[in-house]
Amino acid sequence: MAKPKSIYVCQQCGYQQSGWAGKCPECGQWNSLVETLQSQSKKTSSLQKQPQPIILSKVKAKNTRRISTKILELDRVLGGGLVPGQAVLLAGEPGIGKSTILLEVADKLGDAIYIAGEESANQIKIRADRLGLNAKNILVYEQTDVDALLASLQNISEDSLPNVLIVDSIQTMKTSDLSGMAGSVGQVRETASRLTSYAKSRGIPLILVGHATKEGSVAGPATLSHLVDTVCWFEGERELMLRTIRSIKNRFGPTDEIGLFRMEDKGLISVTDTQKLFIAESKVKTAGSAITCIMEGTRPVLVEIQSLVVPTHTAYPRRIAQGIDSKRLEVMLAVIMARLRLPFWEKDVFVNVVGGASIKEPASDLALIMSLVSAYKDKLIGDKVFIGEVDLSGSVRPVLAQKRRIKHAKAQGFSKIITSSEYSSITNKLSTIFTSKK
């Protein structure tokens, strides 16, 4: 059988040529020529049956059968579990824990096939022993040739199909039909397409591991995200225990959910009680500590903001923020100085969100301001929860899903929740917020 021919196609203008070049001769774009298999033209018969349109209202809706991964937080992100034939791309920085959680998924589901492109079976066995996994029903393929792999998988009977197919990682897979190296744009796109087609034809959930680049995107072509049904992003700092999985594309579920995990020696543990993770458990509360409620998808989460205000010894005071946008901190400091007349221009300010959480919504403005004022005045706030956006005039505005946040805070044992209803401006009754001096 003749080897399929490949050509190089510009991803910007569609120009084609037989060899690679750094610059497209047609549009002048650099590094846009990608090796692509040349499709074989087929003669079409005039008698060939033409496709007919379908009236959408007459299409019968089918219930999607879910396969639970038996990992609560992962099921939450996926929308209840995996769907037969679903292709999932799990992306993240190297070493963040992708292989760890997928090995746990394979062990919990059982009858799993694990394609090891980066590690040997011995290395995977060492990880399984460290995690305390049984791993009796996990088949490991040490293979990077997608053609040889699919030829072997095609021999599996319908009665012996695995519950999940895991490829770790897609950047290591290659096909001999293309001359490019494994990890190149053409190889990643073609191998992912073949694996996805096989998984959908056999109704097997497929999970592809993808690495992130320095720019924070998935290594490989952008079309890789279009080939799969679900794209999940694995985030977290290696120095911290917190790990999060976000769904940025999901054809079978929501895209606003988040899964929270805690990295331990025994692997990734689902976090169900977020209060223990994001709120300090010190018995003696200190000044500069304020609690707010943020929304992670549809889940309300209580987090603690801590501030430290000290005299500056430089011409330009320092503003250092961890877990909060530094520009938002600058805006809130300007509001405090303009509306409360507090001289923060002569103070160094340090702000941290406990537990490594990241706050990106304005609902934490009121808590941030109260934390800063508490640290400046050296006074305690007490067991209060602050929910509200603060505008430039110092007025407190209601936020999205405010009632749900209040309900969650009360369920966690907080009776005093301060919102725009009780506190319309940061200039009103400021002294009543603080409970006592330090």
| Low-confidence winner among 146-160, 213-227, 403-417 (lowest mean pLDDT) | 213-227
pLDDT at 438: 46
**Residue from 118, 114, 151 nearest 133 by CA:** 114
Q: What is the CA radius of gyration of the chain?
A: 27
Per-residue burial over 347-364, b if 16 or more Cβ lie within 10 Å, else e, is bbbbbbbbbbbbbeebbb
As a whole number of angstroms, the distance between CA 304 and CA 326 comes to: 17
Q: State pTM to two decimals.
A: 0.75
Q: Which of 4-8, 49-53, 241-245 has the highest mean pLDDT?
A: 241-245
Handedness of CA 416, 421, 422, 428 (dihedral sign): positive
Angle between helices 98-109 and 121-131 (to 10 degrees): 80
Nearest to 127 by CA among 100, 149, 154, 106: 100
Q: How many CB atoms lie within 10 A of CB 339?
A: 17
List pLDDT tens digits, range 141-157.
999 999 999 999 999 99
Q: Picking from 170-179, 301-310, 388-397, 426-435, which range would have the lowest pLDDT averaged per residue?
A: 426-435
Identify the pLDDT of residue 283.
47
Question: How many angstroms separate the CA atoms of 251 and 223, rounded?
Answer: 16
11, exposed or middle or buried, with CB in 10 Å at 0-12, 13-18, 19+? middle
- Contact between 417 and 385 (Cβ < 8 Å): yes
Q: What does the block give as tokens for 190?
A: 């073609």
Answer whether residue 216 shows pLDDT above 70: no
CA distances from 148 to 174, 175, 188, 227, 380 (A): 10, 9, 16, 21, 66
| pLDDT for position 436 | 56
